[in-house]
Amino acid sequence: MNFKQNYFELFGLPASWVRDAQALDRLAETYRRLQQQIHPDRFVDSTDHEKRLSLQYSVFINEAYETLVNPVRQAAYLLEMNGRPLRTDESLGGELNGGFLMQQMELRESLEEIESGSESDLQKIERLEQLKADVRQDFNAVLDEFGSAIESGSLDTAQALAYQMQYTEKLLEEIDRVEEKLMDY
């Protein structure tokens, strides 16, 4: 067990953008194998020290896996590894271009209109699904752009794209929240 290795090393992957299906499948297989080897249930009859190490390593493996399978978290991790940690404060507007921010405002206004509109819940859900599909398409395009930027070493571009991912992910979460609210009625 080596707590000093990075998440990519832990899973035997190169420290680069992981988004293709085969790499994600290998990541999941390695995750299951590592958890089987180190899971605390396997150390029930071990010393307290071994139990504690097993638990700590299990947590480390879980954190690594959750980071690498989530594109926003993986992007932030890659940038951090390259000395460009993302800020989490609310002053990120300067990191984003005006066109993107304007688009986000328009999409959020559309979401508010859907939520407060007088149409039937079914119509609202249909509009939400279309909005979600459009935002998901934009999100996937940003993921592709980020991969290209990080691979070419364009860290300024990659960082700006990572911020766009964060905003877009939050919008998708809001869309899901509104959709769940409509489905509950």
Per-residue three-class SS string for the chain: CCCCCCHHHHCCCCCCCCCCHHHHHHHHHHHHHHHHHHCHHHHCCCCHHHHHHHHHHHHHHHHHHHHHHCHHHHHHHHHHHCCCCCCCCCCHHHHCCHHHHHHHHHHHHHHHHHHHCCCCHHHHHHHHHHHHHHHHHHHHHHHHHHHHHHHHCCHHHHHHHHHHHHHHHHHHHHHHHHHHHHHHC
Counting residues of the chain whose pLDDT is more than 90, the rounded percentage is 70
pLDDT at 152 over 90: yes
- For the chain, residues classed under CATH 1.10.287.110 are 7-69
| CATH superfamily, region 92-184 | HscB, C-terminal domain (1.20.1280.20)
Q: Given this model, what pLDDT does residue 90 score? A: 55
**pLDDT-based confidence at residue 58 (cuts at 50, 70, 90):** very high
**pLDDT-based confidence at residue 122 (cuts at 50, 70, 90):** confident
Class of the domain covering 7-69: mainly alpha
- For the chain, residues classed under CATH 1.20.1280.20 are 92-184
